[in-house]
Amino acid sequence: MLTSIVVSIVKACTRFAFLVVPVALILAIAAGYYTTQHFSINTDINTLISLKLDWRQRDQQFDKAFDRDSTILAVVDAPTPELTSSAAAALEQKLRGDTKNFLSMQPLGSGEFFDRNGLLFLPVEEVGKITSQFESAAPLIEIMAGDPSIRGLTGALETGLAGVKRGQVKLDNTARPFNQISQTVEDVLNRAPPPLLAPARQRHAR
């Protein structure tokens, strides 16, 4: 029976082709117009679950309190800790004056508190490693702190080489700071003075 119905429809469309084509075109246009007016796709995944649920209401209250959707996190990366701090400070100063686009601004992991207590936020093993590096570098730091000039730098280098000669410091361990100092001096002579690279990698509190 279904076959006979299909055959009848095909015969009717073939016989009255000049009538079927415009009718089909009009129906297609009408269907397209109806679709554009009554059908839509919402790509917001947050609306897939009803907002009337208790936990969804609490989630909305949390979003409203902390305004997570309007928060922008800027990550500043640079070859040295000094350049990173300088670039971050310049960015903060620039954006802080733009009260039209930014309501507030807060540098993460910076300020007087983190400058004094930043090490407390690192793992215990890493804190121990950093403090041991400070302890071993104490003589050099004392020389540079007492005379922050080329003479003090030369004295620190002499002390380091003396430690290598006495076997207190391995020569391989001095390669990185000596290379950094050499590169800094060459950049200064080439009139491109960068900040002196820190012997240890700087970490900000998280």
Structural contact between residues 13 and 20, judged by C-beta atoms closer than 8 angstroms: yes
pTM of the model: 0.40
* Confidence bin at 195 (pLDDT 50/70/90): low
User: Percentage helix, strand, coil, to 5, in the chain?
Assistant: 65, 0, 35
Sign of the alpha-carbon torsion through 148, 157, 135, 143: negative
User: Which range is least confidently modeled, 43-47, 175-179, 195-199?
Assistant: 195-199
Tens digit of each residue's pLDDT (9 = 90 or more) over 117-126: 877 888 888 8
User: Which range is least confidently modeled, 11-20, 49-58, 143-152?
Assistant: 143-152
Alpha-carbon distance of 9 to 66, in angstroms, equals 63
Alpha-carbon distance of 148 to 141, in angstroms, equals 10
